[in-house]
Chain A
Amino acid sequence: MTRNTIINVDNLSKKFSKDLKRSLWYGVQDFTSELIPWQRAGGSKLRPKEFWALNGISFDLHSGEALGVIGPNGGGKSTLLKLLYGLVKPDQGRITINGRVGALIELGAGFNPILTGRENVQVNAALLGLTKKQVNARMDEIIEFSGIRDFIDTPVQYYSSGMWVRLGFAIASHIKPDILLVDEILAVGDMAFQRKSLQHMHQYLHDGGSLVIVSHNMFLLQAICNRCLLLDQGQVTYAGATVDVVNKYFERNQDKEKDTPRLRMGNQPNDDNPVIIDKVAITPSQGEEIYSGQSMTVMLNYNALKEINDVYWGFSIWTGDQWVRIASGYSGYPNGSHKVTEGKGRLRCTIPNLPLVAGQYALRGIIGDGKTKMPLVLFGWEDAAEFFTVKSVASELDNLYRLSGNLVNLEVEWDT
């Protein structure tokens, strides 16, 4: 443990039971053995119907660092935060913390619906560790930050969910611990609010704070964190620079996709769905691998029950987590200048100069009816999209673009 290590986690394990009755009973057992200090802690063995929610986790957090934790649901992320916060006790291993810890696990937790916003600010801030004096001094600032001054003396039970979290965040942002633990709360609220919370996180880090943040929002993690852990089934399966970990996480998901049968609206066209899309693919016009800036062919293979006239078709490219639609190409929209023929067929187009920055992307396809403008069939919306990897010739500039979250390359003619 070096001098500026602010959190040290050593071989940390925590078990849980899926069965309610057993879980409660184990709770009684654990608590009873806590009362008998000379008894050896029996935390290392699993009892019936138990599993390791966290299993042998080790990592360090240094002062001023932001660590992201990603992983599938049930991977142990929230459990880790609760252990770091000291809400629950490890079954094995040790956590050492040097500094004051604050956590944002749920915004507006403990709000009393009957009380007004102002009253709840007092209570919630006190729970989070602010003194009455501090709260009163910052009350105006908090109300201002929340942006709901008109409703501050209204019982919070009449708040919209957005107002509720805004107020919650406004309070939380005024606690300034040495280490802040954040659980997936930045992905709430409208765009302006999300931007505000992100700005706040940056400011907090800039002021010397340290951060552990759990999120499914990869872009947020890339924007804030230097390092990430990939937590899967209670174990750290990968740790490193955020870009690499995010990449690993996508690869993991892709591998899973390959293993699981694709969910489809139906494998055969029928009266309700007269045409289905078998496949959407992007392939390089030359060579095997997709390189940034090269010519690509996009193909859509369909299977139609009958000939359909006046259709449009298109594709869209999404980020690997399918949160952001980057670009799309539609042909024949709106009136429908294409047609699909009976049986299997193919639609094709070329992207002469693929502008994507290296990374993981998803491809979705559509065939639509020109008369109603409604889609006839979608590929990749309710079912799995087609994933593809764009590579680039490694360069420092290219890495900078990746790290700063760029998605596309812009053609620029610079004045000399």
Chain B
Amino acid sequence: MMASPYNRAVYDAEPQLRRPLLFLRGMFSDIRSSRELAWILLMRNLRSQYRKSILGYVWAVLPTLVTTLIWVFLNQANVMNVGETDIPYPVYVLVGTMLWQGFVDALNSPLRQVTASASILTKINFPREALILAGLGETLFNFGIRLVLVLLLFVILRIPIPSSIVMAPIGFFALLGFGTTIGIFMIPIGILYSDIERAMVLLTSLWFFVTPVVYPSPTTWPASLLANLNPVSSLLVTSRELMTTGNLSQVLDFSVVTILTAILLFMSWVVYKLAIPHITSRLMAR
């Protein structure tokens, strides 16, 4: 069931996975038909986002800049000693924060998009993938703005850019893809219980501290365990290395996490699609 409003549809109480081929076909036909809608929704979101704002797109980069300045200040004032980095510390932090911000955006976007659209979920049958895609588009857009700023600073401050930067998009996609995957898994429960959204805020701030965003991961056991078990670590570190030094230190971890992400992303999509009618039942009404 839930094969959306196309020619022949059968809706019954059977779990949809009983007919896996039909379900799979539905998934791919929906993703096809949702692309244009996703684009229109993305345009709507981008237009409405900053229309009531004076600073506009500056807000996309301001948090990254402020966080960077704070950490550079803390480090220079010796309030925090972050240890040795193999590139100038400001560059390390700037790139790290930019990547981290992208990850957090990707993580929060799916649930936020679906929650914001709760009222139309109960009234209009459209391919639900469009919401996720539009959210991803917004994440990419904001990420792109920050990336342009960072590259601009690289040029202005005459920071050498390695040729490996052409490979950096692979890192970006893995990082944002991982965030999106976790984000999609959160939707079914997150839209029913507000606990998830609250917990996510707490979780991301904790996660920040166990990820080498503004300081290198500890190399001694047992503190190193945190960094090694943290999938974001290798994604973020590799992306940063691709942008700055070109010397990759965590290729194996990065590859494993990336492949797992691809598999999990597909699974999260299945779960999301299965969950939507049940979520809608519980949202119902106005």
Contacts and interface: CB of A to CB of B under 8 A. Distances in A.
B120 interface: yes
B11 interface: yes
A90 B189 contact: no
Interface string B8-44: 1111111111101000000000000000110011001
A307 to B, nearest CB: 52
A378 B11 CA distance: 51
Nearest to B33: A129
B280 interface: yes
Interface stretch (B46-54, B137-145, B167-175): B46-54
A87 B122 contact: yes
A39 B16 CA distance: 12
B184 interface: no
Nearest to B38: A126
A86 B1 CA distance: 8
Contacts of B3: 86
B13 A43 contact: yes
A41 interface: yes
Contact of B8 (A87, A97, A105, A110): A97
Contact of A41 (B13, B120, B125): B13
A258 to B, nearest CB: 32
Given A87-B122, A103-B124, A112 B44 contact: yes
A102 interface: yes
B36 A131 contact: yes
Interface residues of B, number: 51
Contact of A126 (B11, B37, B189): B37
A46 interface: no
A367 to B, nearest CB: 41
B138 to A, nearest CB: 14
A35 B274 contact: yes
Given A28-B192, A109-B119, A123-B41, A100 B13 contact: no
Contacts of A131: 36
B7 interface: yes
A102 B20 CA distance: 26
Contacts of B125: 85-87, 101, 103
B203 interface: no
B269 interface: no
A132 B11 CA distance: 29
Contact of B120 (A99, A102, A114, A127): A127
Contacts of A14: 281
Contacts of A35: 15, 17, 271, 274
Given A109-B120, A177-B5, A89 B36 contact: no
Given A41-B13, A94-B11, A127 B279 contact: no
Contacts of A97: 8-11
A270 interface: no
Nearest to B282: A27
Contact of A114 (B48, B189, B278): B48
B87 interface: no
A115 interface: yes
Nearest to B51: A114
Given A37-B17, A87-B280, A109-B119, A126 B10 contact: no
B121 interface: yes
Interface in B110-129: 117, 119-126
Contacts of B277: 86-89
B67 to A, nearest CB: 28
Nearest to A26: B282
A132 B12 contact: no
B278 A30 contact: yes
Contact of B40 (A31, A83, A91, A122): A122
Given A89-B2, A114-B51, A31 B11 contact: no
Contacts of A308: none
A7 to B, nearest CB: 10
Contact of B15 (A41, A82, A122, A177): A41
B188 interface: yes
B221 interface: no
Contacts of A242: none
B40 A123 contact: yes
B12 A127 contact: no
Contacts of B6: 100
Interface string A13-38: 01010000001101110110111110
A27 B124 contact: no
Given A36-B15, A41-B15, A101 B5 contact: yes
Q: Which of A115, A119, A126, A177 has the most CB of B within 10 A?
A: A126
Contact of A95 (B11, B20, B51, B281): B11
Contacts of A132: 36, 40
Contacts of B18: 37
Q: Which of B4, B36, B122, B124 has the most CB of A within 10 A?
A: B124
Contacts of A94: 10-12
B124 A31 contact: no
A138 B282 CA distance: 36
Given A126-B40, A127-B124, A90 B5 contact: no
Given A34-B278, A123-B44, 6 more contacts: A26-B282, A35-B17, A35-B274, A37-B16, A98-B8, A115-B51
The 6 closest A-B pairs by CB, nearest first: A37-B17, A27-B282, A110-B120, A89-B277, A31-B278, A101-B5
29 contacts: A27-B281, A31-B188, A33-B15, A34-B274, A39-B15, A82-B284, A86-B4, A87-B122, A87-B123, A87-B125, A87-B280, A88-B284, A89-B2, A89-B11, A89-B13, A89-B281, A93-B13, A95-B10, A95-B11, A99-B8, A101-B9, A101-B125, A103-B124, A112-B44, A115-B48, A119-B44, A126-B37, A126-B40, A129-B5
